[in-house]
Amino acid sequence: MNRLRLAVIGFVVLATAILAGHGAMAGDGRPALPQAKGSVCVEDTQVMRRNHMDLLKHQRNDTLRQGVRGGKHSLAECVSCHATDGADGKPVPVTAEGQFCQSCHSFAAVSIDCFSCHATVPADPARTAIR
C-alpha cells in the first residue's frame, strides 16, 4: 500500500514538473502565447488564426513578382509585433521554444518553412527601417 502511495505521489510530482517545465500550456490545454507588442492585429483574430498562411502567400507573390510594397499582410510586420525581448534585452526568435509562431505550430503539429529563409527577429531600429 505504501509503495502504491509513493508511486502515485511520484507520478503527480513528475507530471507537475513536466507541465511546469514545459510552460507553454494555458489552463484549457491550448498553448499560452506571448503578448504581442501592438494592440490590434491587421485582421480579426479568428481570421488570422485560420487564414494567415493564405494572406501571407498572397502578399508574398504580389511583393516579389510585381513589386507591390506596403501591403498590410507582411511577414516582417508579424515578426516585428510578435517577437518578444529576452532577459538580455535582445529579441527572441519567433521560432524559439514558447514563442508566438513556434508554440502554436507545435501545438497544431505543423512545421513552418518560412523561417528557414526569413528573419526571425525584428529589424534593429538603429540600423535600418523595415521594407
Which parts of this chain interact with another protein (CB under 8 A)?
A: 60-62, 64-71, 76, 116-119, 122-123, 126-131
Phi, psi angle pair for 31, to nearest 5°: -65, 140
Q: How far apart are CA 34 and CA 13, in angstroms?
A: 26
Shortest Å distance, C-beta 6 to another protein:
47
> Which of 128, 125, 122 lies closest to 75 in space, CA to CA?
122
Shortest Å distance, C-beta 131 to another protein:
5
Shortest Å distance, C-beta 39 to another protein:
22
Closest to another protein by CB, 3 or 69: 69
CB 99 within 8 A of CB 120: no
The three grid cell numbers given for residue 27, joined into one nine-digit string: 489552463
Closest to another protein by CB, 24 or 83: 83
Shortest Å distance, C-beta 52 to another protein:
16
- Residue bearing cell 513536466: 18
Please state, in angstroms and as integers, the Cα–Cα distance from residue 58 to each residue in 14, 35, 91, following that order.
46, 26, 27
Closest to another protein by CB, 43 or 77: 77
Closest to another protein by CB, 25 or 42: 42
> Which of 130, 7, 1, 8 lies closest to 69 in space, CA to CA?
130
